[in-house]
Amino acid sequence: MTPVVGVDGCRAGWIAVRWGETVTHHLCRRFEDVLALDAAVIAVDIPMGLPQRSGRLAEAEARTRLGKRRSSVFPVPSRAAVMCTDYRQSCNANLANSHPPRMITQQIFHIFPKIREVDALLTPELQSRVHEVHPEVCFWAMNGEVPLQHAKKTKGRFNAQGIALRQTLLERAGFPLASLPPATYRRADVGVDDLIDACACAWSARRILDGRAVSFPADPPLDARGLRMAISA
């Protein structure tokens, strides 16, 4: 079986699930270590392609599919805002590059270092192998294109029903979850949800490889660097 990789960001870097003849997981400290993994397709939960003005069609279309899970997909701020390392400067940059003017939440600001890390390595040519996905959109596709009933977290805490639902969907969709080796990472480095989300990304990576994935939007626009702006599932 041709190997694919699904990747989710975590506190210690990136958690990657490689699915080939066997299924394994790898903690990568740097994104370049992710790119070094042997895989035909790498599907990553991170925005790729940054707009000049805040907001992308990819998120707008994905959010319409997710119902009450829509808040998990955030509008991507402007490239100018993402490139700022100071929170107040980032807010000012996005206010100047959004309509209506929008501030930056602290939660989104803390993801910026990972977005910048990927953006620095990504090229239009590399996007033939590296694709943007979003776990909640992956699970939506697994669930017959129906939004999930239960969230992963409730008030910042893990929701047992939500985690169990996602595990069940992975197994029903053909992902070999039972064969995944036990994770021995510190919880401070890799969360339970990080590994499950990486599995969902790997499932979508397989669909991308097989030509069965859906894309939001279907005809993706390019950013100023020529990078495709689309979420696949």
Residue 154 has pLDDT above 80, yes or no: no
| In the chain, domain spans | 4-73+124-232
Residues 158-201: tens digit of each pLDDT: 888 999 999 999 999 999 999 999 999 999 999 989 999 999 99
- Packing angle of the helix pair 160-172, 192-210 (nearest 10 deg): 30
Residue 111 has pLDDT above 90, yes or no: yes
Residue 155 has pLDDT above 90, yes or no: no
Residue 156 has pLDDT above 90, yes or no: no
Give the model's pLDDT for residue 140: 98
Give the model's pLDDT for residue 6: 98
Instruction: Write down the pTM of the prediction.
Output: 0.96
Give the model's pLDDT for residue 157: 77
CA dihedral sign, ordered 42, 43, 47, 48? positive
Residues 70-108: tens digit of each pLDDT: 999 999 999 999 999 999 999 999 999 999 999 999 999
- Angle among Cα 146, 149, 150 to the nearest 5 degrees reads 135
Give the model's pLDDT for residue 64: 96
